[in-house]
Amino acid sequence: MASPIRHKQQPQRGKSSPIQLPRDLPQVEEFANQFLASGGDYAVPRAVINQLARETLDSTREELLKSSGPFALTREKLNSRLGELVQSYQRSAPTRVINCAGALLHTNLGRAPFSERFIRDIAPQLAGYSNLEFDLITGKRGSRGAFVARQLAELTGAEAALIVNNCAGALFLSLNTLSQKKETIISRGELVQIGGGFRVPDIMRRAGTKLIEVGTTNITKLPDYAEAITNKTALLLKVSLSNFSQSGFVDHVPVREISALANETGLTVVYDLGSGLAADPGRVGLQGQESLRSALESGAQVVCASGDKLLGGPQAGLILGHKKPIALMRKNPLYRTLRPDKFTLTLLSEVLNRYLDGSWREDIPLWELAGRTESELYQLGEKIISAAGAAESLILEAAVSRYGGGSLPEVEVSSCAISFKTGSIKSNMSAAKLARLFRELDTPIIGRIEGERFLLDLRAVLPEDEAALAAGLKNVLGVIAIT
């Protein structure tokens, strides 16, 4: 039998031994061991440490091979390179942050928040197994999302409803089902780009429908739609301008008029409402804004909306409307690729329950935060500054918040923000540096920069985050304050 292969053990090198050639680099396991032995609190699995150590060694080896002159790297510097990768990995992991950016529905911060109390109440339903696709009455296979669809129908007055993964998915499924290989007419002024670089024209083309543009960027009239209708037309598409606004010489056709034209010509209207407002607009200070119910009452056979915007729920795409088109979408094979999981459906169901039983103002954080008065926000600011022991360094000032998240671009909400007094912090501390220090806290605080100033807007600060905000302020001021 052949003798076993013996690996020559690498000699332990001193921390300051220079690394000048590729052969001076340690083995991955040795490098990872040395890094962990050097200290540091890293909540990262060992397998990840090994992989990041390998990446560090690979990139360093490449530098050594490309270097044309003297190249000397100490073990400490090599460890530092790995440490930077590990820290970057840790900071990229999903974590709770405090929203002081002044946007109630901040897309980059997860849009609509949930309260800790809401999550505790719903936890038993999320744990273990569920009746996701099981009918407890018949003992047979059930229909996924059927109960949530019924709740949506009861809440909005829709004949039927369907839930998918997000609003873009809702629009895609609607177009693919109802207008594949046919024509869809849309105003040029509504060919918008939504978050992440996704454009409505691109979604339409991928859905398999032919895009027919009518009108101009700023003016579209009802005759523009009527003149574009042919025997190949299947849909009239209306898209809400939910992430920007137009002013000046502007005119767009209301959904009600487009729906009347569709009824005359036997076509279907799909309305991409986006924001998903389920509350009475007048009760939340949004008079004149369109709700899910009013969008349906305008005559659109299909309305698409988001679950995590003005509904205040989880990310989901809501499709509401007439029974026939929604039944066709449910049968579309694409629906299976877009349907949500048990967590989304359970969360969404509980949010809809709050609207149906009338407790939405108290139980959905979006409306609690949006409903705070200026006086309440100033009191909150004084409380946080006092808890941080920073009355000499911080001031409160009037600010303007927005709903954000692709909702209500023209609606401003008066707010209150914490800012730093002139002369209270080191002169080399720019707004960008301040923002970074707050992001690097154990519980990151996300503020906003206005000109050369850094602000902590209090409009979207949840009650359970108040103590952490005060502690974060105290921490940062300990580093930057002039003593």
Residue 439 has what pLDDT?
A: 96
Torsion (CA) 383, 385, 389, 393 in degrees, nearest 10: -160
Sheet holding 183-187, edge to edge: 160-164, 317-321, 302-306, 268-274, 233-239, 183-187, 210-214
Residues in the chain: 483
Which residues of the chain are under the pLDDT cut of 70?
1-17, 195-197, 242-247, 483
Residue 15 has what pLDDT?
A: 53
Q: Phi first, then psi: what are they for 339, rounded to 5°?
A: -70, 150
Residue 12 has what pLDDT?
A: 46
Residues 257, 236: contact at Cβ < 8 Å?
no
pTM score: 0.89
The sign of the CA dihedral 246, 248, 249, 253 is positive
Beta strands in 72-197 (DSSP E): 98-99, 160-164, 183-187, 193-194
Phi-psi region of 248 (alpha: psi -120 to 50; beta: other; left: phi over 0): left
Which residue, among 221, 292, 218, has the nearest Cα to 254 in the 3D structure? 221
Residue 291 has what pLDDT?
A: 95
Q: Encode pLDDT of 141-159 as tens digits.
A: 999 999 999 999 999 999 9
Residue 4 has what pLDDT?
A: 39
CA distances from 9 to 26, 153, 157, 327, 366 (A): 11, 70, 74, 68, 61
Residue 14 has what pLDDT?
A: 52
Residue 11 has what pLDDT?
A: 42
Residue 20 has what pLDDT?
A: 82
What the chain holds in terms of domains, given with CATH numbers, is: 22-92 (no CATH), 98-109+366-480 (3.90.1150.180), 116-363 (3.40.640.10)
Residues 317, 170: contact at Cβ < 8 Å?
yes
Residue 2 has what pLDDT?
A: 41
Residue 196 has what pLDDT?
A: 64
Residue 199 has what pLDDT?
A: 84
